[in-house]
């Protein structure tokens, strides 16, 4: 595990964007696992800057996102489809056919989860970008009795709903359910890059990286990954 403790959100964003760019430049056909949330916004901004400066060609990339809320349409500004479009996909030359997010509005969610897993399995993720929730979740893999391997539908933790209420005008509008990539796809990624920002993440990050490996702290499973990089600013 490599941990970069950096002095600011800007440096965290730049460092993570540099690591992702290096992956893309070395392997233009890379498969990236992507994350949403407030933390990676700066990373995406830097990637867009690099693209605009002619340093980054995203034309060969395939992407898989970690998760999506149930009950929101793709065009809903609170959906993760919308987030990805506005922060990255509409701003770089990515092939729209190679962008994948789970369809959390599918009628048959179980079938959709299986479909998503088989798509990921067929491609294999080269580099997975992750944020971390205050409760240690990665994607929307919430603390629980077991590490869930497959893509699945999840009841969001009260703490997650509370944390994400800041993005919604009315906290009652925060969806209660989501579809998330499971631990298997995350752990099978060749490389994992976790970004975290703010003093509030210090305790959960320490628990995750150095505490016991337990599904009660979902990110603790990352200790078992052979190529984990953490970029953290407090
Ligand atoms: P945040 O969310 O980046 O908005 O803190 C991280 C997460 O919940 O995974």
Q: Give the pLDDT confidence of 159-207 residue by residue, as tens digits.
A: 999 999 999 999 899 999 999 999 999 999 999 999 999 999 999 999 9
Distance 139 CA to ligand 1 centre (A): 9
Atom of ligand 1 at shortest distance to CA of 198? 5
Please give the helix or strand (H or E) that residue 154 lies within, else none.
strand 152-155
Tokens linked to 146: 């077991």
Residue 196: the pLDDT is 98
The residue written with tokens 């990110």 in the block is 219
CA dist., res. 108 & res. 169, Å (int) = 30
Atom of ligand 1 at shortest distance to CA of 197? 5
Distance 65 CA to ligand 1 centre (A): 14
Residue 202: the pLDDT is 97
Angle (deg, nearest 10), helices 9-26 and 41-52: 50
CA dist., res. 37 & res. 25, Å (int) = 25
Query: What's the full length of the chain, in residues?
Result: 234
Mutate to test the pocket of ligand 1, among 13, 35, 36, 37 (most ligand atoms within 8 A of CB): 37
Distance 31 CA to ligand 1 centre (A): 22
The residue written with tokens 């479909």 in the block is 115
CA dist., res. 117 & res. 102, Å (int) = 9
Q: H helices within 33-188, ranges in order? A: 41-52, 80-84, 109-123, 158-164, 183-188
Residue 89: the pLDDT is 98
Mutate to test the pocket of ligand 1, among 12, 38, 162, 196 (most ligand atoms within 8 A of CB): 38
Catalytic one of 68, 112, 117, 142: 142
Ranges of residues in the chain whose predicted pLDDT is under 50: none
Distance 133 CA to ligand 1 centre (A): 5
Tokens linked to 115: 């479909």
Q: Which residues line ligand 1 (CB under 6 A)?
A: 37-39, 131-133
Residue 219: the pLDDT is 98
Asked about 18 being catalytic, the answer comes back as no
Catalytic one of 135, 155, 157, 234: 135
Residue 150: the pLDDT is 98
């Amino acid at each position: 595990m490599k941990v970069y403790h950096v002095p600011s959100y800007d440096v965290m964003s730049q460092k993570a964007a540099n690591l992702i760019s290096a992956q893309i430049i070395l392997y233009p056909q890379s498969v990236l696992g992507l994350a949403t949330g407030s933390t990676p916004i700066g990373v995406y901004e830097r990637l867009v800057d690099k693209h605009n400066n002619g340093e980054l060609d995203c034309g060969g990339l395939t992407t898989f996102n970690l998760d999506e809320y149930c009950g929101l349409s793709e065009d809903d500004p609170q959906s993760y489809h919308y987030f990805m479009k506005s922060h990255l996909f509409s701003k770089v030359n990515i092939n729209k056919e190679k962008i994948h997010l789970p369809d959390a509005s599918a009628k048959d969610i179980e079938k959709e989860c299986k479909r998503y897993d088989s798509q990921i399995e067929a491609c294999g993720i080269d580099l997975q970008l992750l944020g971390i929730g205050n409760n240690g979740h990665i994607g929307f893999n919430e603390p629980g009795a077991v590490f869930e391997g497959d893509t699945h539908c999840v009841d969001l933790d009260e703490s997650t709903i509370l944390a994400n209420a800041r993005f919604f005008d009315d906290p009652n509008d925060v969806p209660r359910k989501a579809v998330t990539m499971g631990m298997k796809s995350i752990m099978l990624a060749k490389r994992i890059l976790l970004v975290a920002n703010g003093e509030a993440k210090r305790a959960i990050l320490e628990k995750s990286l150095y505490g016991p490996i337990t599904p009660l702290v979902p990110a603790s499973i990352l200790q078992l990954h052979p190529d984990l990089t953490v970029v953290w600013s407090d």
